[in-house]
Chains A and B, each alone.
Chain A
Amino acid sequence: MYHDNDRSKMFSRRALMLGGGKAVLVGALAARMYYLQVMEADKYAMEAEDNRVSTRLLAPPRGLILDRSGIAMAINQHNYRVMVVAEQTPSLDYTLNALARIITVSDGDRARIHKEVRRRRSFVPISVRENLTWEEVARVEVNAPDLPGIIIDVGQSRSYPLESLGAHILGYVSAVSETELTGDPLEELPGFRIGKGGVERIYDMALRGRHGTSSLEVNAVGRVIRELERKEGEPGVDLTLTLDMKLQEYAAQRLGDESAAVVVMDIHTGDVLVLASTPSFDPNSFNRGLSAEEWKDLSTNPRSPLSNKAIAGQFAPGSTFKLVTALAALEARDITPEMRVFCSGHTQLGSIKFHCWKKEGHGAQDLISGIKNSCDVYFYEVARRTGFEKIAEMAKRFGMGAPTGVDLPGERPGLIPNKEWKKKALKQPWHPGETLINAIGQGYVTATPMQLAVMTARLANGGFAVIPHVARDQIVDKTARPRTAPSWPSLQVSRQSLALVRKGMFAVSNEPGGTAYRARITQEGMWLSGKTGSAQVRRITMRERETGVKKNDQLPWKERDHALFVAYAPEENPRYAIAVVVEHGGGGSAVAAPIARDIMIEVQKRDLARIATNTPADSPDLRRF
């Protein structure tokens, strides 16, 4: 039969062709494999590694804040959270119901959890409740077998154990807002908090520390398989303040419910020992989250608890400013200390009558008695002789009219006016009468309590430009270095002038008839020298003068005078300066001076400046709890 032979031959021929074709295709596969696995291997190896490894940041513990004797002011507390992992629950509602029988879970929380579960991958833990009490944690732990998918997680939260005490110095922490991003990778961490206000803000970078990293192996859906490498970060710098919380507490108590501020500082080193502003607030409440009501209370309170009045409250300094006026005139030799001015209760400048605070007048006054009695008429005359430009210049030398440079955010500059300023700001010429008014610390002049303390310190330390600070150490970048011994520049004021003004201040507090004589310190070696001030905040009309000027306690709070007092102590070899301002408190001698006296007694009892500052115990326990 066999035609089949032809078919067989053709089949073999064609098989060879097709087989050859297949061989070529297999060759192409081999070539492709070579290209991918040898030539491009490095590129793909890198891409595989990128796929596999996800780097996460580790938040370092935030630095502690301690007072000068090591009392913890800001610490990190464990924040116990209950989390639920949806994929480990038989049903989310079953687990939440079981949990709700043990701790309270609000309907709002439930709704939020359900929403988040839908949004995230099922293995991502979702927070059910934060800030559990120890008891709640224990209850959840005990019932763990009946709570599938529930885990307890420990985070860190900032806590201020002294609550409202020192709140204005500390500030608080809260979430980063868009405008505050600095590019620090830590800011990307969910729940990361940065300092807002106070030293938490100004030393935020040092307190933060440096982030660590954890390289994690993740799968295609992002689930973490294991940790490949861990690089711990650096904990934040522990910040020791110059403040003394015992004194601070005393001062805050002494101020009570008044809207007031006290600053006590070391006149040589610039250490701020007390910086109180009342009323205060509890910074912990910012961490917890304020209710709308709490926020309204805080923000609309006329005594403004949120504001740090010690550095941001700008008050007319009243008669405390007369110290500067006197110095300016003495330095310019426009007056001599012996020069006498007769006070009849008022003086006349052109057609305008300027009153002394004492209607009956003080009679003949020289420099010392002028200060001692705080005689307005005497200082009207001084101002008329020397002019306000010189006074303004002296005020600036003593730290007014510009922020003092204390290491706290939000410091206000106060105001020291002059002709130029008035022309610019108010577009009006300077009236001669304004020289008189501003020379006694009324009118346009304003200063912060911090500025008044600095002024007093500079008077008391012999005319050196001390700058206050609240951090014990110098914080450079992210490390703390002890401050070098201060060498403040001289203010170029003669010793004689300073001695004369201080003699006047001594008389105020220690000579019978002085405006603060009743608030003197009688303990030997603790005597203080000061100056009272009562800054008028309302206009006294002619008619009122005729019928009798109203007493402060007859007036509504908002119209009462600000009570001020500045002082230094001890008289021999002074070390501490204080400024007290009680907003609408009434008279300086009746209200502010006794407060200053009491605080200065406490200050000198502790006499911290003469004790070497303790190095606070670097106890790791503090960091944890």
Chain B
Amino acid sequence: MPRPIQRMPSRLNRTEMSIRDKVWQINWSLIAILAAIAGVGFATLYSAAQGSLEPWALKQIIRFAFGIGIMISVALVDLRFWVRHAYLLYAVAVILLVLVEVRGTIGMGAQRWIDLGFIQLQPSEIMKIALILSLARYFHGAGVQEIGRPLFLIPPLIMVFVPAALVLKQPDLGTAMMLVMSSGALFFMAGVRMWKFALVIAGGMGAVPVAWQFLRDYQKKRILIFLNPEDDPLGAGYHITQSKIALGSGGMFGKGYMMGTQSRLNFLPEKQTDFIFTMFAEEWGMMGGMVLLGLYSLLIAFGYAIAIRCRSQFGRLVAHGITTTFFLYFFINTAMVMGLVPVVGVPLPLISYGGTAMLSLLFGWGLVMSAYIHRDVPISRRGAADE
């Protein structure tokens, strides 16, 4: 647990902090946990390539190093900068999402990224962060009474609805749901009344049959197969079935590093991306799985501690929002490979092979770190320093 540093309260309190002060405040234990989780990822990717750094592990290590650099840079940027530019970032992200619609690259049957030549930009990843920032910005300036007014909630709802609809159209149900859920958590943390949530959830339940009509065939199929995977063990249920076999056969202590038969013999689909947790748990067993679960839980606890410790509402909401998004990644992915939720394309954060998700997550943790560094900096409604 990070403790408020008592030694130099006077410095932190100041409206302007020097770079030296900020560097001094970098939370190295947070970075250590992130590195530990990423390290598990490197080792697993190395095993997935049958004991080779190519083609995955080395690239992932470089990306992580690069991501940590970005994270620290972001952490050192004044939190008020993000308050000021939150809406702009949001606008850019929406434009990019629209661009994907217009001239996106087709990948895995879905339009999800823009090829900028040097990097494939996934606007939905940017949107995850931009949405948290702009919602935090919106609620940061809101008093308790304002939040109580239903009309006040209309703009942020639109803010959520527009990107969620665009992402859903790609179609990427997983990301759309993540946007909605993390926004929901943010609304909750901002102080929206409980009964309103109850109302929305009830409404949502009622809308399920209607929404069903709009789902793509493969999405419907995934849900149906999730409900009964044995229906189609060689077809669409193959992923879940093989994943459960891999997990279960790992047993308590696993088959040993680089000895997972299910993954090594390719029975496990997409073992380096969405199903990497299965591969890890096949080789390390329940013990390994529990250790990884513990690392993730620790990271999330850190996020919570930072959020609670923050003096500004913006900092609190951002720190919590990022932590929750991270949690959703982790939970949906592991629950999916264990057959607890339908198969949706959500990677295991920091471990699954992939560039954009890694960078956007570390960018997010940079914001959390920034919230920690600037925890005692008071922020005005519009992002200027108070007084």
Q: Chain A interface (Cβ within 8 Å of chain B)?
A: 1, 3-4, 6-8, 10-12, 14-15, 18-19, 22-23, 25-26, 28-30, 32-34, 36-38, 40-41, 43-45, 47-49, 51-52, 217-221, 225
Contact = CB atoms under 8 A, between A and B. Distances in A.
Given A33-B338, A37-B247, 13 more contacts: A3-B144, A7-B191, A11-B189, A15-B189, A37-B248, A37-B281, A48-B249, A49-B249, A51-B245, A51-B262, A217-B261, A219-B267, A225-B265
Contacts of A48: 245-246, 248-249, 261-262, 267
A218 B264 CA distance: 10
A197 to B, nearest CB: 43
A221 B143 CA distance: 61
A34 B301 CA distance: 23
Contacts of A225: 265
Nearest to B251: A41
A44 B244 contact: yes
Contacts of B189: 11, 14-15, 18
Interface in B233-290: 242, 244-252, 261-262, 264-267, 281, 285-286, 289-290
Contact of B250 (A7, A30, A37, A219): A37
A261 B289 CA distance: 81
A52 B304 CA distance: 44
B144 A11 contact: no
Contact of A47 (B245, B266, B334): B245
27 contacts: A4-B311, A4-B313, A14-B191, A15-B189, A15-B308, A18-B324, A22-B331, A23-B297, A25-B331, A29-B293, A30-B290, A30-B293, A32-B339, A33-B290, A33-B293, A36-B244, A36-B247, A37-B247, A37-B248, A40-B248, A45-B249, A45-B251, A51-B261, A217-B261, A217-B265, A220-B266, A220-B267
A222 to B, nearest CB: 10
A12 B308 contact: yes
B351 to A, nearest CB: 15
Contacts of B338: 29, 32-33, 36
Given A34-B286, A48-B261, A18 B188 contact: yes
B244 to A, nearest CB: 6
A25 B289 CA distance: 15
Contacts of B266: 219-221
A44 B265 contact: no
Contacts of A15: 189, 304, 307-308, 320
Contacts of A217: 261, 265
A45 B282 CA distance: 10
Contacts of B386: 1
Interface residues of B, number: 48
A7 B141 CA distance: 11
B191 A10 contact: yes
A26 B293 contact: yes
Contacts of B286: 33-34, 37-38
A49 to B, nearest CB: 8
A468 B143 CA distance: 113
A37 B243 CA distance: 12
B385 interface: no
Contact of A28 (B143, B289, B301, B340): B340
Given A18-B185, A217-B265, A221-B266, A43 B293 contact: no
Nearest to A51: B267
Contacts of B301: 19
Instruction: Identify which of B144, B189, B265, B340 gathers the most chain A CB atoms within 10 Å of its CB.
Output: B265
Given A3-B144, A26-B293, A220-B266, A33 B247 contact: yes
B300 interface: yes
B327 interface: yes
Nearest to B253: A37
Per DSSP, chain A at the interface is: helix
Contacts of B300: 19, 22
Given A32-B338, A41-B248, A220 B265 contact: yes
B48 to A, nearest CB: 14
A346 B226 CA distance: 99
Contact of A219 (B191, B265, B281): B265
Q: 5 closest Cβ contacts across the A-B interface?
A: A44-B248, A48-B249, A219-B265, A220-B266, A37-B286
B335 interface: yes
B222 interface: no
Nearest to B252: A38
Nearest to B185: A18
A14 B289 contact: no
B316 interface: yes
B265 A29 contact: no
Instruction: Identify which of A34, A36, A217 gathers the most chain B CB atoms within 10 Å of its CB.
Output: A36
A11 B290 contact: no
A38 B386 CA distance: 56
B145 to A, nearest CB: 9
A428 B188 CA distance: 108
A376 B166 CA distance: 112
B251 to A, nearest CB: 4
Nearest to A37: B286
A12 B309 CA distance: 9
Contacts of A220: 265-267
A38 B287 CA distance: 11
A11 B327 contact: no
Contacts of B308: 11-12, 15
Contacts of B339: 32
Contacts of B307: 11, 15
A283 B264 CA distance: 49
B335 A29 contact: yes
B359 to A, nearest CB: 24
A465 to B, nearest CB: 63
A48 B248 CA distance: 9
B381 to A, nearest CB: 11
Nearest to B331: A25
Nearest to B247: A36
Contacts of A218: 265
A11 B143 contact: no
B333 to A, nearest CB: 10
Nearest to B380: A1
Interface string B291-330: 0010011001100100110010100100010001001000
Given A18-B185, A29-B293, A36-B244, A6 B144 contact: yes
Contacts of B335: 25, 28-29, 32
A15 B320 CA distance: 8
Contacts of A11: 189, 191, 307-308, 313, 316, 320
Contacts of A12: 308
A119 to B, nearest CB: 19
A401 B242 CA distance: 67
Contacts of B296: 26
Interface in B83-121: none
Contacts of A51: 242, 245, 261-262, 265, 267
B311 to A, nearest CB: 8
Contacts of A49: 249
A33 B144 contact: no
Contacts of A23: 297
A25 B293 CA distance: 11
B80 to A, nearest CB: 16
A142 to B, nearest CB: 35
Contacts of B247: 33, 36-37, 44
Contacts of A29: 293, 331, 334-335, 338, 340
Contacts of A26: 293, 296-297, 331
A40 B338 CA distance: 13
Contacts of B331: 22, 25-26, 29
Nearest to A219: B265
A22 B250 contact: no
Interface in B152-193: 185, 188-189, 191
